Structure formats: C-alpha cells, structure tokens
Structure 1
Amino acid sequence: MTYDQLVTLEAIIEQGSFKAASEFLHKTQPALSSAIKKLEQEYDITLFSREEYRPKLTDTGQAFYLKAQEALQSFRELEKFSKELSLDHETELTLGIDAICPIAEIAPTLNTFFETRPSVSLNLNIDLLEGLAQKVNEHKVDFGIGSNLVQSEHIESLPIFDVVMVPVISPKFKKVNQSLLKKLPQIIVQSSSKQSSKKVVGKLQGSKSWSTSDMFMKEQLIENGLGWGRLPLHQVRDKIKLGRLAEVKSVDQVKRLPVPMYLLKSRTKTLGPHAKSLLSFLLEASRS
C-alpha cells in the first residue's frame, strides 16, 4: 500500500468517477485503474463494484475507505508539521494571561487560530498583577494578555478590552457601610512577581487587608464571609444573580473599577511566524 494509492482512492470517491479523478490528479485513467487494482490484489479485497457505471464502493471498500481517510489525515498533518519545522515555525506557543482576563473573550479567536494549526500546541501561564509584565520582559512567554502595571520602555502595550472589577461581599451582611468594610479585611491578591511594587489598586483607605496568591481563593474567602473585595464581573456575575454574593453599592468610596487589558509584547523579543499570527488574530478580533 502506498500514499499515492490512497490519494487515488480518495480522488475517485470525491470526484465521482475515474475520469474526473484523472483530471483532478493530472494522471491517466489507466494509471488510476492500475493503482486501485494493485491495492485490491495486495490485500485480496474488492473495493469497487464492477456492476455499476459509476464507481461504487463495496461494503468492504466502504470500511477500507474510512480507515484510509484517517491514514491520509494523519499523513497530511505529519507532512505539514515537517514543512513547518523546515521553515522554523514554532511547534509550541507560550502565552501569559492575567488571572482576571476573561477566557470567553479570547476563546473564539484561539479556537479559529489553532483549528488551522493542529501541529502547534499552547502553553498558558497564569499570572497576577506585575508578574505578567515581568515574564514578558524576561522573554519567558511569547507575549501576554493582561493589565499593564509595569510602565517599561521595553514592553509594547496594545489595548484590547476592559475587565470590570466589582466590589462584592457575602450576602449575610445585611447592612453594608463604610464602617463595616473597614472592620472586615479587604481581600487582595498578591502579585506573582518577585519584584512587586506592593502597591494595591483600589484599596479602601483605613481598612485592613488579607492577601492571597490565588483569585479563586479570594472569591471563596469573600463568599464565606471572611472579608470583601473586588472580583472580575465575568467571574462573579452568576453568583450575584443567585444571591451567593452581593455587590457593594452603598459606599461611595467603593465602586466598580474598569481595568484595561492589553496585548503585552517585549520590544526586544523576536516572535516566530505563529506567534506573530496569533498576536495579529487577537488584535484584529478586539477591533471587530
């Protein structure tokens, strides 16, 4: 069995006749007939019924063709992968994402991009606050998606969308005022950067704080009445509707906070062809 024989079989089925297949493959009809005959003789099977005017697969031929399609797809993926290697195309992309970034915003773009590049894998790094910019700056990721808390001349930032941070508290607290919020700890997340500025965005003056390095843990602490804090609206919208969390609306100093998200790219890192394409895909999607 050869690759050309399987391609011949596929062309005959898809084009509907030996004549159309010969034109499609730029081969003579006798050459196609010979390829199919050799394939049948090699495995002592009959692929096509000779009783029909047009080629029709036998039951055996139908079963064989289904497996042949799988083999052809695997070979073509391997062929494409080999060509990409020869052209220095990356086989893996490393993307840094801020923990507050809504995956739903970028999922359609990622799906469209990777559907046409089955040989490319994705490694996602989740970071908090300055940690993302640090990884971008140190070339530990191809590029990042998140807030730009580090103003560096070495990082190019391209705005894509905003994430709304909403102040929430457990609904067990019926009367929410400034006094209560100062009494309870404000739950904040720590930066994943070792060089964090320790600056807290949106901190209520005079309040005490608890810190965690995990956004989900922050949500659990708040939901269980151990404090209050801001969380991404897309993350807690359903819990607010279900009454498992309550938005803080009665304190003037504590409001919703829009946080701009950026595509963060190091000016000193050379991106490969796939990384460049993905960056362009995401930027274009944000503008549409």
Structure 2
Amino acid sequence: MKLDQLKVLRAVVETGSVKLAAESLNRTQPAISQALKALEFQSGAALFDRSGYRLELTPVGQRVYLQSLRVLSEADDLAQLIRHFEQGQEETMTIAIDAAADLDIMTPVLNGLQSRFADTRVVLRSEVLSGAIEAVASGAAALAVAPAIHVLLEEAGFDYMPLAGSVMRNVAAPSLLAAMNAPRRLADLRRFHQIIARDSGQASGLFDRELGVQKGQRRWYVSDLSMKKQLLVAGLGWGRLPGHMIADEMAQGKLRDIVVPDTHLNFDINIFAFRQRKPITGPVAAYLWDAFAERAHPSA
C-alpha cells in the first residue's frame, strides 16, 4: 500500500468521480482507476459501490478512507518536519493581510522582522473576505491578519488572538447622497449601484453568500478596496469601507455616512492574527506570533 494510492482514494472521495479526481491530481483517468484497483486488491474488498451515478464508499471503504486520512496527515506532518530541519531559518515567510486591516497594526512587527531576519524574503498577500482564512488553512500563508469572528476561527481549528477593532462604514459621495434624497429604507438604495469587493477566496461556509447585499441591488464589483474607494469618491456608487481607510475623505467631506432611519448600516469588526493550530514553526514564524502576542488586545 503506497501513499500515492491513499492520495488517489482521498481525491476520488472528495470529488465523487474518477474523472474529477484525475483532473485534481493532474493524472489520467486510467491511472486513477489502476491505483484504486490495486488498493482494493490489497484490501481484499471493494472500497466503492459503483452501482449509482456517484461513487459511494462501502462500509469497508469508509474505514479504509478514514484511516488513510490519518496516515496522510501524519505523512504531511513528517514532510513538514523534515523541511523544517533542512531549512532552519525560513527562506520565505508569507503573511496574508486582509484589505480591511489597518497596516499600522503590523508595521511595528514588520520593522522588527526586517531587522532580525534580513535574509528572509517576506511575501504579503492581500486578501478579501474569506481569502485570508483560506490562505492559512491551505498552508499558503504561515499566518494572517484579518477581520474575523471567533466561531469561524474556532471551526477552522486556528490559534488566534485579537489585535484591534475597527468600524465598517457605509458611505457615499455627497453628490450621490443628494441623488438618494434622504432614503427612508434600505430598499431605497437598490437603484444606486453598490460597489462590492470580490472575495479572494473560494467563499465557502459563512462567506458563501453576499453579506449586506439586497436582492435586486444594482452592483459593480472590484478586486481591491483602493479601487472601491476611488469609485465611491467619484460618486459612482455606495458601499462599506473600514473607517481608517476613509478617515481623510470623511474629514474632507469627500465621503459621508449613509443614514437610514432605524437601520444600522455601520458595524464593528475585530481584527485577529491567526495561524494553524500547533504548527511546526521556524524562528521567523515564531517571532511573528510572539510579536503579535505582545500587542494583542483581549477586549478587541
């Protein structure tokens, strides 16, 4: 029994078909089928019920699959440990940063990182909505700084700490507010374009819907919050942005809060640092986590 066969089994179960498993593993369908047949031969029993449209695990297959997940997880941990010992100080450190997070939270930590580990290349990934959580969950980023809620971080199995609070403000340019003519209900905003930042992740779970977007709402999409702010200032639409990002525009009167009676369009968010639970960390990742811990705010 080989690890490659167990990876094939996992891919077939997760995708539900040999074809999709082949695509996900960049293999041919015959190669996938051969790996399954070899695994079934070694197991001495059929692992899949092939009578339906979608492959379903047999009782024996279910037990083999669950055990294979544990074996693959241990193999991944071992591979990570070997890489850790080979590399020592990390060559590259990737940090996912949500576009709504205030970079002022991070700059003292990054200054220390640069002075202590000058030879480590640092990659700062800009993410939106579920992108930061996905980057950490997949291992693409060692840690992230992003708005989140406790339950999502708990469900993802992350270590996390609150760093700061912020406010998402629903704003528009004065010219657009004048055209809105003192809206009385949220429905009054539908005919004015809402500017929405696209999710940089796969938008699963809580993110698998457009929060704060009404049915029938006219909308434009952008890929980052800087572009969104430019469009809002130009009067091309309305939308939410973090307070720190638009403080100057609010002070200068370029943007104003949208006020709808008896409706709270603004809302508080908490910014967290988070990482995979009990990771095998090198000195750079350990420093980053400890540095954020020194600046954590339990009340955030």
TM-score, structure 2 as length reference: 0.61
* C-alpha distance in 1 between matches for 2:245 and 2:255: 11
- Following TM superposition, by how much is the alpha carbon of 1:262 offset from its aligned partner in structure 2, in angstroms? 1.1
Tell me if 1:163 matches 2:169: no
* C-alpha distance in 2 between matches for 1:87 and 1:213: 35
- Following TM superposition, by how much is the alpha carbon of 1:260 offset from its aligned partner in structure 2, in angstroms? 1.1
Change (3 A) 1:246 1:86: same
* C-alpha distance in 2 between matches for 1:251 and 1:212: 29
CA contact under 8 A between 2:137 and 2:156: conserved in structure 1? Answer: no
Q: Give 5+ residue unaligned stretches, structure 1.
A: 1-84
For residue 280 of structure 1, what is the aligned residue in structure 2? 290
- Following TM superposition, by how much is the alpha carbon of 1:238 offset from its aligned partner in structure 2, in angstroms? 0.2
Q: Among residues 162, 176, 184, which one is paired with 2:182 in the alignment? A: 176
For residue 210 of structure 1, what is the aligned residue in structure 2? 220
For residue 239 of structure 1, what is the aligned residue in structure 2? 249
- Following TM superposition, by how much is the alpha carbon of 1:87 offset from its aligned partner in structure 2, in angstroms? 7.7
CA contact under 8 A between 1:189 and 1:218: conserved in structure 2? Answer: yes
Structure number, greater radius of gyration? 1
- CA offset digits 1:116-162 (Å, max 9, x no partner): 33223311011111111111001001111112364534322322212
Tell me if 1:131 matches 2:125: no
- Following TM superposition, by how much is the alpha carbon of 1:114 offset from its aligned partner in structure 2, in angstroms? 2.1
Tell me if 1:194 matches 2:163: no
* C-alpha distance in 1 between matches for 2:113 and 2:162: 20
For residue 117 of structure 1, what is the aligned residue in structure 2? 117
For residue 102 of structure 1, what is the aligned residue in structure 2? 102
Tell me if 1:265 matches 2:275: yes
- Following TM superposition, by how much is the alpha carbon of 1:200 offset from its aligned partner in structure 2, in angstroms? 2.6
How many residues align? The count is 204
* C-alpha distance in 1 between matches for 2:242 and 2:110: 21
- Following TM superposition, by how much is the alpha carbon of 1:230 offset from its aligned partner in structure 2, in angstroms? 0.6
Question: Counterpart of 1:216 in 2: which secondary structure?
Answer: helix
For residue 54 of structure 1, what is the aligned residue in structure 2? none
What one-letter code is carried by the residue in structure 2 that aligns with 1:252? D
Q: Give 5+ residue unaligned stretches, structure 2.
A: 1-84
What one-letter code is carried by the residue in structure 2 that aligns with 1:188? I
RMSD of the TM alignment (CA)? 2.5
* C-alpha distance in 1 between matches for 2:251 and 2:192: 23
What one-letter code is carried by the residue in structure 1 that aligns with 2:159? E
- Following TM superposition, by how much is the alpha carbon of 1:86 offset from its aligned partner in structure 2, in angstroms? 8.5
TM-score, structure 1 as length reference: 0.64
CA contact under 8 A between 1:248 and 1:254: conserved in structure 2? Answer: no
* C-alpha distance in 1 between matches for 2:261 and 2:225: 23
Question: Counterpart of 2:148 in 1: which secondary structure?
Answer: coil
* C-alpha distance in 1 between matches for 2:278 and 2:143: 12
* C-alpha distance in 1 between matches for 2:182 and 2:220: 19
CA contact under 8 A between 2:164 and 2:297: conserved in structure 1? Answer: no
- Following TM superposition, by how much is the alpha carbon of 1:183 offset from its aligned partner in structure 2, in angstroms? 2.1
* C-alpha distance in 1 between matches for 2:210 and 2:162: 22
